[in-house]
Structure 1
């Protein structure tokens, strides 16, 4: 049996970056585990003395994709990611229709603060989120 994975992204401003990644992935804020009413209430049961709880947790509304945790860290990003997210834009159709959907999503993400780093015409676009984390839109 395969194990599920979560993705964790260190960042300076979890709330701001969460808004970007909700747009990028179509994700929602993840509710706290039952029976807790807030994530803070849930976190209080653990001895996390070095964790101030400043983070954001996102989930796929269909329950298919991995959870994305965004956790605040004091240091800035300084080098290229060793692992990155590939956003696979949904939909069927010809290569031209697919590329049009990709470029439309790239335009939305650019308007939300992302930066285009490289375009491989017809295949994918490499971007950076508002804090510089690299990802591809394909």
Structure 2
């Protein structure tokens, strides 16, 4: 038996980080769970303190429903160490090493324009950081 799972990012700005990961992965805002019509209605159902805003979180999913959900939650403390788990973004295609690196670099440029940074070039992939410093990699995946 397999289990469904979500990935959760801690952050200081949930909207900014959600916008980045939607662009990076092609994800969309996840609809609120039934029977709620809006995330605000769902959030209000928890009876949280007034200073706990629905804007302090974001919930994303793949449009086709395949892949893990992403939960992006505001926390008070800053990121202080390297991630122990990270996302690998795979660009498609085969070809020569030069062609594969061209696809990796094109994807990394798109992500840098959205707020990411290149951290390190490694053997066959780039290590990058999202706008909040969470590391992820860009590499060529299987065809």
Structures share a fold, TM > 0.5? yes
**1-structure distance, mates of 2:81, 2:60:** 25
**1-structure distance, mates of 2:96, 2:6:** 31
Per-residue CA deviations over 1:9-61 (Å, capped at 9, x if unaligned) read: 00000001111111111111111112211112123333555954320111111
Matching of residues 84-95 of structure 1 within 5 Å: 84-89=86-91, 91-95=92-96
| Alignment TM-score, normalising by the size of structure 2 | 0.86
| Structure 2 counterpart of 1:81, from 72, 80, 83 | 83
**2-structure distance, mates of 1:95, 1:64:** 30
**2-structure distance, mates of 1:128, 1:92:** 23
Matching of residue 68 in structure 1 with residue 74 in structure 2: no
| Structure 2 counterpart of 1:108, from 97, 107, 110 | 110
| Alignment TM-score, normalising by the size of structure 1 | 0.89
In structure 2, what is the equivalent of residue 124 of structure 1?
125
**1-structure distance, mates of 2:74, 2:67:** 22
Gaps of 5+ in 2: none
Q: How big is the alpha-carbon RMSD for the aligned residues of Structure 1 and Structure 2? A: 1.7
Gaps of 5+ in 1: none
Q: How many residues align?
A: 136
In structure 1, what is the equivalent of residue 5 of structure 2?
5
